[in-house]
Amino acid sequence: MKVEKFKVLLYLKKIGLDKSGKAPIMGRITVNRTMAQFSSKLSCTPELWNPRESRLNGKSKEAVEINAKIDKLLLAINLAFDTLLERKIDFDATAVKEAFQG
């Protein structure tokens, strides 16, 4: 399978703020023309979120911890993608999502 496009986007779901005022961090995996969305099960203060970088600004305890978890999440997604590529079978974004979520 030829993969022309593989991208992972993280964004805040600002509509669904929890009681402490934090917004959940959602993700979207794109493979060629297929798309799959997922919840990262992380949440952060909306004011710290940097949409261009897909991570939190600053050196606060919250920013450092969430950014470390985001790095692990992205690493797991890329590992799942590489594993599916090695199998030399056709797959889409949903298969990548299911592979990294287990």
**Cβ pair 26, 13 in contact under 8 A:** yes
Domain range list for the chain: 6-101
Mean pLDDT, the chain, rounded, equals 91
DSSP SS3 for 92:
coil
Amino acid at 30: T
pTM of the model: 0.89
Amino acid at 101: Q
- Please tell me the predicted confidence (pLDDT) of residue 102: 80
- Please tell me the predicted confidence (pLDDT) of residue 74: 95
Convert the pLDDT of each residue in 25-61 to its tens digit.
Answer: 999 999 999 999 999 999 999 999 999 999 999 999 9
